[in-house]
Amino acid sequence: MVLGLVALALVAAACAPNATQSTLEPKGPYAQQSYDLFVPVFWVAAVIFIIVEGLLVLFVFRYRHRKNQTRIPPQVHGNTRLEIAWTILPTLILAGVAVPTIATIWDLAAKPTGDVLEVNVLAHQWWWEFDYPDQRILTANELHIPTGRPVYVTLCAVGFGYGTPVPSQGGPPAPSACQGPPDSPPPAAIGAAVIHSFWVPELAGTQDVVPGQTNHLTIQADEPGVYEGQCKEFCGLSHAYMRFKVVAHTPEDFDRWVAEQQAPASSAVAGPAQAGQAIFLQTCVACHAVAGLETATGQPVLANGGPNLTHLMSRGCFRGCTLAVTDGNLRRWIADPRSVEAGSFMPDYGLSSEEIDQVVAFLNTLE
Amino acid sequence: MASLEHSVAPPVSDHAATSTGLPHLKLAMWLFLASDCLLFGALISTYVLYRGASTVGPFPADVFDIPYTSVSSFVLLASSLTMVLALAAIQRGDVGRSRVWLLATALLGMTFLGGQVYEFTSFVREGLTLKTNVFGTSFYVLTGFHGTHVAVGVLMLLTLFTLSFAGKINQDSAMTVELVGLYWHFVDIVWIVIFTVVYLIPTGNPGAGG
Amino acid sequence: MASVSVPAERPGGLLRRPHATRGWWSWFTTVDHKKIGILYGITAFAFFLIGGSEALLIRVQLARPDQTFLEPAVYNELFTMHGITMVFLVVMPLSAAFFNYLLPLMIGARDVVFPRLNAFSYWAFLFGGLFIYSSWFLGGAPNGGWFGYAPNSVTDPTRGMTFYAIGLLITGIASTVSAVNLAVTVLNMRAPGMTLFRMPVFVWMGLVVQLLLAFSLPVITIGLVELLFDRLFGTHFFDPAVGGTPVLWQHLFWLFGHPEVYILVLPAMGIVSEILPVFARKPLFGYQFIVFSGIAIGFIGFGVWAHHMFAVGLGPVANTAFAVSTMIIAIPTGVKIFNWLGTLWNGDLRFATPMLFSIGFIAMFVIGGLSGVTHAVVPSDYQQTDTYYIVAHFHYVLFGGAIFGLFAGMYYWWPKVFGRMLNETWGKVNFWLMLIGFNLTFGPMHILGLQGMPRRIQSYPASLGLSFWNMVSSIGAFVIAISVLVFLVNAISSFRKPKQMEADPWDARTLEWATSSPPPEYNFEEIPVVHSLDDLWHRKYAEIEGGRVVPVAAGGSGETSTAGTQNTEHAGGHAIHMPSPSYFPLIAAAGFPVAGYGLIFGVPAVALGLVISLAGFFGWALEPSAE
C-alpha cells in the first residue's frame, strides 16, 4: 500500500505545475532526448515493480501460517529451469534498454552542426560567467540564447590551481582552455578552481565543469522563456547559491540583445553617480570590468576576477542569480558581501553608507 | 539440544589441520600481498597517468641515472637470493647459516635504501622535489612507499636475526622465516615493476607538458 | 574456558598478561570474537544515533525553502559527517559485528584465526571514528562531502578534510586487517565435513565481502594518501594548474567506492538469506545460484565504478562501457531476489520481527535496484546525477536494504547473543514505524530529484516548487527517529529479563543454534562434524519421499537443555585452550590517532604515535597467543 502511494506520487511528479527546474518538462531537443529515454525505462521498471512486489504481497498472504497448520512444507531446493528463465529474461530486457541508451550517448556527445552559437561558460566560486567569443561579449548570471539554434557550450572552471601562490586577487591565472576574448586579460583567478556542474534541466542534462579539462554541452530552447539552472556539483561553501538563468529570445530579439550588450557604457554621468564612478574606479576595477570606462590614466577597465558589469542593469538577477537587481540588494551586497554569500571573495572596502549610495547610483547608469 | 556427531576439539593455534591445507599465516600473508598489489597498482597507475604531463621540469630524462639505479636494483635482487638461502638453511635446521644469510639480506636491503636516499638527495639538488611538478609528486610517493615497505622488511629481518640469538628461531619455526621471505620477494618483484615502468620505459618528449 | 594462568616473563615486559574474561576491564583486553562482535555492534549503534541526529538536523533545515536555521559552513559539515558516519562508522562495523560474532559459530570453529588481530581491528576502528569526530572540536569537521572531490577537498582552508583523510586511513587499516583475518578464518577453520558448498549463505557473503575489502581498500588508501599529501605537503596529485587532474581522485575513490556499496549490502543479503528459510520452514531456494550471484556481484562490482562519473566527461566510449557493465550487474541481483521469492513460495510463513524486516528488505531493495537501473541509462543520468533522485536510490538500497537487513539480524540473533528475546510487540511497532517513516522520507526524494532539486544544498528557493515534498520528507525523518527510539527501548529493557534462553528458539538451520544461548567462551563443547548444508536442520528433521519432512525421533525440534549446557564446561574431560586476552592490540591501535594528531598539530606526536604502535606490535609479536 505504501509502495503504491510512492508509485502514484512519482506519476504526480510529472504533473507539478510550479516545478520550474524540472527534468520532466523538456523545453528543447537535447533535454527531450534524455526525457524520451527515461519515460519508457521508467514504465518498464514500474511494470517489473508491480510484478515483483505483487508476487511478494501475494506470497505473504497466500502462504502465511494458519493456526491449524502443523506440517512442515515440502523442502524444495530450487528449480534450474526457473533460474535460467529469470536470468535470460532480465538480460533481454536490459539489452533492449541498452541499445537506445548507447545510441543516445553517442548522439549527445557529437558536436552539433549547422548554425551553432558558441558560448564559453566559466564557472567561478560561486557564480557563472558567459563569454561569447564570436560576439565579443562577456556577461554573468544570465545566459541569453536564441531559440531554435543549438548552443554549443564549452565548460571552463576558473580559479587558482593550488600549485600556484594565492594572492587574494589579481594573481596568476590557472591555465585553462577558456581564455576569454583575445585581447582581454585571461580570467583572473579569484577563489579556487574546483569542479562545478552546469545544469539547466529544461534544456539539457548536465556536464561537469572540471579544472584542467574542457568539457562541452549542447543546449537548445524551442521557445522563448526563462529557464532555471544551478550548479549541481558540490563546489564549496556557497554551492547552493550558484544559480543562473537561461533567457531564450526569438532570433530577432537575441540580435537586439547582442547589439545592446556590445555597446560600451557611457562615461558621461552626473550627480551622485559621478561620485560613485570615482569610487568605482578606485576600488571595484580591481575585479570588475566595464567596457567603455577608462581609469584616470586612460586605461580600459578590463579586470575580470568578478562579473563584467557593463550592462548590469539589463540583467534581472545578480549574486549567483539569487538576488534581484534592486537598489536595496545592491546596497546589502556592497556593504557586507559575506552576509549575503558565505565565504565570498568580494572584499568589503568599508565604504560609508553615503558612498555606497553613490556607487549604487553609478551602477544604475550601467544599462 | 539435538545431538551432534563430534570430533576431538582442535586447539585454536595453527598447528592443526586447516580446511585448505595451507597454514593460517601463510594463507594470510598471500592474501595480504594480493591486497598490497593493488596498493602499488594504484600508485603505479598514478605515475603512468602523469607520464609526460608535467608542465615544468626537471623531467625524468634530466635526472635519471640508469646505470646507477641498475646497480641498486641488482643489490635488491641479490637480497632475494640471500633470503632464499636463509630459508633453506633454517629448513635444514642450520640456525647459524640462516642467521648469516638473514643478516646479509638485511644489509643488502639497507644498501638499497641507502642508494635510494643518495639518489633522491641528488634529484633534489637538481631541482626535483615533491612539489616541483607531477613527475616529482608521483615519483617520490611511489618510490617512497616502496622504500617504506623495504624498511619494514629490513626491520623484520633484523628482528629475526636478533631473535635467533635467543633461540627463538629454529627448524620448527621455519615458517616465520618463510613468511618474511614471501614479503621480501614481493617487495623485490614490485621494485622490478617500478624500475621497468618508471626508469626504463622512456617517457617520450620530455617537454611535451600538459 | 581459559586454562590456568601463569604470569610470563617477557623481554622488556611491563605488563602482566591479563587473564580475566569477565568484568568490565576484560572488554579492553578481550580477544574473544563474540565480545569483539558486541563491541562493534554497540559502537556502530552509537554512531547510528549520531549520524541519524545529523540527518534530522539536515531535514529540519530543508523542511521549508530559504531557511537559515543552519548556516552553510555547518550544513556542509553535517551532510559530510552524516555520509562518513553512516557508511564507515555504522553499516560497515555493524556488518563486522555480525561477521565477528557469527562466522566462527556458523563454521563450527572456536574463534577467528587471529584473535588479537581481531581486537586490534576493533580498536583501530574505534580510534579512527573518534579521531574523525574530534574534528568538531578541533577546528571544524570534514566539510567536502563524504566523497571528498578534489580540488575542493584540497583547497578548502579548514582542517576538516585533513581529519577526513587521516581518520579514514586509520579505519581503512582496521578493515583491511580484519578482511584478511576473516577470509582466512572462513577458508581455513571450517569444521570437518563443511565443504565450501555446505557453508551458510551468510558465510559465503562474508567471504566475498572480505575479499572485496582486501582488494578495494588499498585503492582508496592511495587516494587518501594523495589527498593528504596535496593538503599537507604541497604535492600536485590533483592539481590542474601543473598537469594533474582532479578526475584521478574520482577514479581512485570510486574504484573503492563501488565495491564498497556491495560491501555494505551483501552482509544484509546474507542475513536475509538465513532468516527467510527459518521463518518459511523450507530451505533457501536456489542456494548455489544465490552463492554464485554473490560472487558475480563481487567480481562485476569492480567493473562499474565510472557509473558515478558519467557527467565528468570521460567520453562516449567509457560511458558506453560502464553503462553496459552497470546493466549487467543488475542480472545477478535480480537472480537473488527471485530466489528469495522462491523461498517464500509454498512456505509456512511466520511473521516474527526478523521475518518482517527481511520481507521489508526485499520490498525496499527492489525499489532501490530498479531506480539504480534507470541511472544506467546514461543520458537520463545526465539529469538524475547529483540530484535527490540519486539520494533516494542509495537510501533505498542502503537503508531499506542494508539497515533493514541488519535490524532483521539483530532481532533474529539477539536471543543467541544476549540470552533474551527482544519484545515481539515492540518489534512489530519498530518495523512498521520504520517502514512508514522510511518511505515517507525517501519516497518523495525521487520526485524532488526529478523536479530539479540538486544534492548538497542547504536551501532552495520557494519558486522551484519543491516545498511540499521536502516537508513530507522531513516529517518522515522524525517518524524514523521514533522507530529507532522504540528499538532502543526494546533493546535496553530486554536486559531486565532473566538470561534464560534455549539454544534454538527459532527452530533454525545453522550451527550457531546448536550451542547454548549465549555460547560458552569456547563456542562448542565438541566441534561438530558436518554432513550437509543446513546440518542442524537435518539433525532435527529427515526428508522422506516427496520432499516431505518428519522430525527425527530423538531430541525433537526446539528442545534444549540449558541446564545441560551449564554443567558441561569440562565436556569430554579435556580442557579447551582458548587464546588469552592481551593489552597489545589496544596499544598498537592507540598509536595511530596519536600519529594522526601529529600530522595536523606537530611532528613530535607522529614520532610518539609510531613508538606506541611499534611497542604494541612488538609486545604482541613476542607474547604467545595463549598462556
Q: What is the pLDDT of residues A145-183, one digit of tens each?
A: 999 999 999 998 887 665 433 333 334 444 444 655 556
What's the pLDDT at A187? Answer: 60
Lowest mean pLDDT among A6-15, B82-91, C201-210: A6-15
Pair C557, C625 in one domain? no
Nearest chain B alpha carbon to A163: B131
Nearest chain B alpha carbon to A213: B210
Q: Give the Cβ contact number of residue B158 at 10 Å.
A: 17
Range of the domain at B93: 24-51+66-200
Range of the domain at C612: 1-25+580-627
What's the pLDDT at C568? Answer: 35
Question: Domain containing B36 — which CATH number?
Answer: 1.20.120.80
Neighbours of chain C (3+ CB pairs under 8 A): A, B
Q: What is the overall mean pLDDT for chain B? A: 89
- B58 in a structural domain: no
What's the pLDDT at C545? Answer: 74
**Residues of chain C contacting A56 with CB distance shorter than 8 Å:** 341, 344, 359, 362-363, 366
- C-alpha distance across the termini of chain C, in Å: 12
Of the partner residues B39, B49, B166, the one whose CB lies closest to the CB of residue C218: B39
What's the pLDDT at B125? Answer: 96
What's the pLDDT at C625? Answer: 81
- C227 in a structural domain: yes
User: What is the 3 state secondary structure string of C171-196?
Assistant: HHHHHHHHHHHHHHHHHHCCCCCCCH
The predicted model scores a pTM of 0.93
Check whether A8 has a pLDDT greater than 70.
Answer: no
Residues A275-302, mean pLDDT to the nearest whole number: 86
Q: How far is CA B175 from the centre of its chain?
A: 18
What's the pLDDT at A9? Answer: 58
CB C288, CB A62: distance < 8 Å: no
Of the partner residues C181, C226, C557, the one whose CB lies closest to the CB of residue B46: C226
Q: Give the Cβ contact number of residue A92 at 10 Å.
A: 9
Check whether A33 has a pLDDT greater than 50.
Answer: yes
CB C617, CB C54: distance < 8 Å: no
What's the pLDDT at A185? Answer: 62
Neighbouring residues of B116: CB distance < 8 A, sequence distance ≥ 6: B72, B143, B147
Cell numbers that stand for C196 in this block: 565450501
Residue ranges of chain C whose pLDDT lies below 50: 1-13, 555-573
Cell 554573468 locates to: A140
Residues B156-185, mean pLDDT to the nearest whole number: 92
Q: Give the Cβ contact number of residue C134 at 10 Å.
A: 16
- B4 in a structural domain: no
Q: Do C528 and B5 touch (CB under 8 A)?
A: yes
Per-residue confidence at B207, pLDDT binned at 50, 70, 90?
very low
Q: Give the Cβ contact number of residue C285 at 10 Å.
A: 26
Q: How close B143 comes to chain C (CA, Å)?
A: 13
Q: Do C359 and A161 touch (CB under 8 A)?
A: no
CB C399, CB C442: distance < 8 Å: yes
Pair C12, C137 in one domain? no
- B155 in a structural domain: yes
Pair C263, C309 in one domain? yes
Pair C88, C165 in one domain? yes
Please give the ipTM for the structure prediction.
0.92
Q: Is C560 an 8 Å CB contact of chain B?
A: yes
Per-residue confidence at B208, pLDDT binned at 50, 70, 90?
very low
Pair C607, C519 in one domain? no
Pair C457, C553 in one domain? yes
- C421 in a structural domain: yes
C160-188 and B24-49 are packed helices; what angle lies between their axes, rounded to 10 degrees?
140
- C572 in a structural domain: no
Residue A292, φ and ψ in degrees, nearest 5: 95, -15
Higher pLDDT, A268 or C369: C369
Pair C329, C392 in one domain? yes
Cell 615502468 locates to: B197
Pair C77, C2 in one domain? no
Mark C429-459 as b/e (b = at least 16 C-beta within 10 Å): bbbebbbebbbbbbbbbbbbbbbbbbbbbbb
DSSP assignment of C400-435 equals: IIIIHHHHHHHHHHHHHHHSSPPPHHHHHHHHHHHH
Per-residue confidence at A213, pLDDT binned at 50, 70, 90?
confident
From CA A80, how far away is CA C339, in angstroms rounded? 11
Check whether B11 has a pLDDT greater than 70.
Answer: no
Cell 613530535 locates to: C604
Pair C472, C586 in one domain? no
What's the pLDDT at B9? Answer: 45
**A–B CB contacts, 8 A cutoff, strictly below:** 3
C 324-363: CB under 8 A from A:
324, 327-328, 330-331, 334-335, 337-339, 341-342, 344-351, 359, 362-363
Residues A292-309, mean pLDDT to the nearest whole number: 82
Question: Domain containing C489 — which CATH number?
Answer: 1.20.210.10
Eight-state DSSP code of residue C17: P
Q: Do B35 and C194 touch (CB under 8 A)?
A: no
Residue finishing a domain among C522, C542, C565: C565
Residues A249-261, mean pLDDT to the nearest whole number: 96
Check whether B5 has a pLDDT greater than 60.
Answer: no
Eight-state DSSP code of residue C387: B
Q: Do A175 and B55 touch (CB under 8 A)?
A: yes
From CA C249, how far away is CA C627, in angstroms rounded? 47
Q: How far is CA C74 from the centre of its chain?
A: 27
Measuring CA to CA, how many Å separate C320 from each of A33, A105, A208, C323, C552?
A: 16, 7, 18, 5, 57
What's the pLDDT at A180? Answer: 55
Nearest chain A alpha carbon to C543: A75
Per-residue confidence at B16, pLDDT binned at 50, 70, 90?
low
CB C301, CB C212: distance < 8 Å: yes
Q: In chain A, what are the domains?
A: 272-363 (2.60.40.420)
Q: Is A171 an 8 Å CB contact of chain C?
A: no
What's the pLDDT at B111? Answer: 98
Q: Is C206 exposed, middle or buried (0-12, 13-18, 19+ CB in 10 A)?
A: buried
User: Could you tell me if residue C528 is left (phi over 0), alpha (psi between -120 and 50 degrees) or otherwise beta?
Assistant: beta
What's the pLDDT at A184? Answer: 59
CB A39, CB C315: distance < 8 Å: no
- HSE of C309 in the Cβ direction (CA atoms, 13 Å)? 28
**Residues of chain C contacting B32 with CB distance shorter than 8 Å:** 180, 214
Q: How close A119 comes to chain C (CA, Å)?
A: 18
Count of domains for chain C: 2
From CA C556, how far away is CA C561, in angstroms rounded? 12
Pair C294, C202 in one domain? yes
Pair C599, C520 in one domain? no
Q: Do A63 and C347 touch (CB under 8 A)?
A: yes
- B141 in a structural domain: yes
Higher pLDDT, A266 or A25: A25
What's the pLDDT at C556? Answer: 41
What's the pLDDT at B13? Answer: 45
Strand partners, C369: none
Pair C157, C213 in one domain? yes
CB A128, CB A308: distance < 8 Å: no
Q: How far is CA A236 from the centre of its chain?
A: 15
What's the pLDDT at C19? Answer: 83
Count of domains for chain B: 1
| CA dihedral (C543, C546, C548, C551) positive or negative | negative
**Residues of chain A contacting C464 with CB distance shorter than 8 Å:** 19-21, 228
Cell numbers that stand for C564 in this block: 545441560
Neighbouring residues of C341: CB distance < 8 A, sequence distance ≥ 6: A52, A55, A56, A59, C285, C362
